[in-house]
Structure 1
Amino acid sequence: MKVAWQKAQINPPLPTYMEGYVGGRKSQVIHDDIEAHVLIMANQEKYFVLISLDIILIDKAFGLQLRTRLSRESGIAVEQIAVIATHTHSGPQISTKLSSGTAVNQDYLNEIEDTVSKVFTDCLKSLTPVQVYCKEVSIGIFYSNRNQPDLPYNEKAQFVRFIDEQGATVVDLMNFNCHPTILKADNLEISADLVGSIRQHYRDNLMIVLGEAGDVSTRFKRQGEDFAEVDRVGRGIAERLTLGEWQALRPSGFDLKTIIHEVSYDPASDLFLNNAKAQLEKAVSQQPEARVLLDMVEERLAQKSGTLSFEASIFSLGSLVFVFFPSEIVFELGKILRDVHPNLILVAYTNDFRGYAVDQATYGKFGESLITDYPYGEADAFVKKIAEQIEVMMRD
């Protein structure tokens, strides 16, 4: 097996609008560099490409455009290229999904494409034979379930390490199962937030992807919401990441499966949405901040009926399985997938952004159920379909 990894800055031109909170925030300052990471894995003329960007989300059109360009430049199939967001709420605006009142800087998106293309081309030229190692590290003392601290969450960070023939680490790939935002809406400085801090304090060649972070955060464990707290938590997590025992992994052939889940849906007849609208209309008079959620519900109700389509992919690297998921996903749904396979890396925020994937038992209890494209029960059906396909791949 061969691997190559490189990174590059993708800092936006200033001033720039920010995306992650409502209100049309504008930044004049870059606090810390935001980055693009490119990881290429190759085995017997088969490839898989992982691209991580320090932005709030992957707009489907932008992600497909980038993947198509890299496919055209390399001959690697679009399906074998995954584009992922690290979900910083202090990054530049790259879509209108969360900041519809301000315009996207298309020139900046083009710059991101050009930068990723160059790094991608350099990686293709520098593929090197590697040995692969895995480990898990407990870091849950820094975060918890963010809706209720006594609810379950994944306290483990999964690691994959690629080591070249000289014994040097090419890159450590970390699967971080926590919402990575500490900085709040009053921050007006561009930052990679907690992901950037962990990378800074751990080592230079660390690539982070997010797992079941939809209902997991530092909310009940943090001591502030400023850059000092970002540094404290990032430093503490980085120190714990040196723990744990590395185990050798013998990758065999690559296998890739795409899973599509479709559902016919009429928002106007959605009982949950209509009930949520009625409740929020009553709440707005006493809680003006509820207006944001009410606007989201009304926007969903105004959409035409039709077919909703959700797409995920499964990539197996021998006994290691990656699941690439197009949403923020909550712990209970992530657990379904991890229970199916003992060595699984769940990668959320991939190739699209469909809001929160919330399990049926929790749907309607917390705010995540309002910020989603999934009707009641459909996230469960989608995840179970993925789990069934993993079981088929394991048998084969």
Structure 2
Amino acid sequence: MRVGHGTTDLPVPDGTPMGGYLDRPGPSAGLADPLTVSAVTWSDGERRFALATADVICVNEDLAGRARSAAGCELWLAASHTHSGPETGCVPGGGPTPEPWLDRITEAVRTAVRRAIDGERPCEGTVHRGELHGVGADRSRPQAPAVVPLDLVAVRDGGLAGVLVVLPVHPTVLPATSRLVSADLVGAVRRSLRERLGGNVWVTVATGAAGDISTRHTRRGQDAAELERLGALVADRCAELLAGPGTPLWGAGPAGGRISWATRRLTLEPAATTADEGALTAGYEQAVASGDPVATRLARSRLEGVRARTSPPARTGVDVNVARLGGLALAGLPGEPFLAVAERIAGRDAGRDAGRDADSPGEPTVVLGYVNGYPGYLPTACAYRRAEYEVLASHVAAGSAELIADTARHLLEEV
């Protein structure tokens, strides 16, 4: 297998509308750290697959299609979901990508993919998986354990050439009041891990199934210092995992591994959830009066969920993407799937039911979120029993996430 990596900056001019928060006080007004578009390409001599990651809030289907055409090969375009970048049309149910970002991001993807292809060379691949503590947790359950799975795909050409990190945590440390452009947590992880691995090792960070996972209950602040602290925690854990044995995925020779992929189109039914905004407002006022900051934040998020629905829910079309890169099973899901959706695809929930080690499924399976479309939140069916932000903001019916997960599993069996 031949693997390459390329990257390019994504400049954001001052005065650009920013995505991610409804109560942003104004457009961008400076740069905290640069946004990037990066690409990793794999070639087996017959087929080429590219994964591009962009430091934007979301990728709509129009942008994904334009970028694929520009790349000239099979391409998945994933958003990091930074809330400190440009607004790219991130509305529940998806929408058009505003100019000039449709053209700018497409051109950046073209540049990054071309650089990756030009740099392809024979490489081996391994996957490393472990638990990450103290960075992400269920943001609607303050007492939930702060533990998430961390996946690393390591690429070696004798020594370590590069690492793809899949982090299932909302990259939201900086507050809504910030008007500085930043890749937020994803950027902090990239910087910290590069420092540990050395300048010759490329690092790409993709956001996993993070619909219900964030730093809300783990962060100690919302500034640059806290970004660096959390980024260092992730980087230290990555370095620890890379120092241990990994599971082989493909070899460097001509017969080192084969590439295949598949996509299936689904139509998701509209959400039936209704909410009494007056009651939620009263609940928020009671939380404020109590002086409990956690209760206040959760109550405010429920109101934000109702107000995030800018139009009545309708049927939503989505693409479910899977690929096999040698021995790696890869799923690319649209929108913001809950973490349990990824566990369902990887078979770790089935492993628990069968009495197997939940962290030792039959094959290495890595799940990305925010890929090739934005239907919004994809909560699990059981989450619809609670009136939390993600359910109130979702445009899709209960059971949609399970339909997507099961489709991905079946596609992986077919390719």
TM-score (norm 1): 0.86
Moved more, 41-50 or 62-71: 62-71
Instruction: Give the direction of change, closer, same or farther, for the CA distance of 1:321–1:283 in structure 2 (3 Å limit).
Output: same
- Give the match for residue 44 of structure 2: 43
Aligned-partner SS, 1:224:
coil
Contact 1:280 1:293 in 2 (8 A): no
**1:104 Cα offset (Å):** 7.4
Residue 383 of structure 1 aligns to which amino acid in structure 2? A
Instruction: Give the direction of change, closer, same or farther, for the CA distance of 1:115–1:377 in structure 2 (3 Å limit).
Output: closer
Q: Does 1:216 align with 2:213?
A: yes
Instruction: Give the direction of change, closer, same or farther, for the CA distance of 1:108–1:313 in structure 2 (3 Å limit).
Output: closer
Q: Of residues 366, 374, 387 in structure 1, which corresponds to 2:396?
A: 374
TM-score (norm 2): 0.82
Residue 105 of structure 2 aligns to which amino acid in structure 1? I
Q: Of residues 319, 333, 336 in structure 2, which corresponds to 1:328?
A: 336
RMSD: 2.5
Instruction: Give the direction of change, closer, same or farther, for the CA distance of 1:188–1:104 in structure 2 (3 Å limit).
Output: farther
Q: Of residues 91, 95, 108 in structure 2, which corresponds to 1:97?
A: 91
Aligned-partner SS, 2:216:
coil
Contact 2:167 2:205 in 1 (8 A): yes
- Give the match for residue 262 of structure 2: 257
> More strand per residue: 1 or 2?
1
**1:107 Cα offset (Å):** 3.1
CA distance in 2, matches of 1:381, 1:168: 41
Gaps of at least 5 residues in structure 2 are 251-255, 286-299, 349-361
- Give the match for residue 143 of structure 1: 136
Residue 262 of structure 1 aligns to which amino acid in structure 2? T
Contact 1:210 1:346 in 2 (8 A): no
* Bigger relative contact order (CA 8 A; separation at least 6): 2
- Give the match for residue 195 of structure 1: 186
Aligned-partner SS, 1:300:
coil
Aligned-partner SS, 2:382:
coil
- Give the match for residue 128 of structure 1: 121
CA distance in 2, matches of 1:49, 1:335: 24
Aligned-partner SS, 1:18:
coil
CA distance in 2, matches of 1:285, 1:155: 34
- Give the match for residue 59 of structure 1: 60
- Give the match for residue 293 of structure 1: 305
Q: Does 1:388 align with 2:387?
A: no
CA distance in 1, matches of 2:207, 2:30: 26
Contact 2:154 2:162 in 1 (8 A): yes
Instruction: Give the direction of change, closer, same or farther, for the CA distance of 1:284–1:146 in structure 2 (3 Å limit).
Output: closer
Aligned-partner SS, 1:169:
strand
Residue 19 of structure 2 aligns to which amino acid in structure 1? E
Instruction: Give the direction of change, closer, same or farther, for the CA distance of 1:63–1:262 in structure 2 (3 Å limit).
Output: same
Aligned-partner SS, 2:234:
helix
Instruction: Give the direction of change, closer, same or farther, for the CA distance of 1:344–1:82 in structure 2 (3 Å limit).
Output: same
Q: Of residues 307, 310, 315 in structure 1, which corresponds to 2:323?
A: 315
Identity among equivalent positions (%) equals 22
Aligned pairs for 1:19-30 (under 5 A) are 19-23=19-23, 25-30=26-31
**1:160 Cα offset (Å):** 0.8
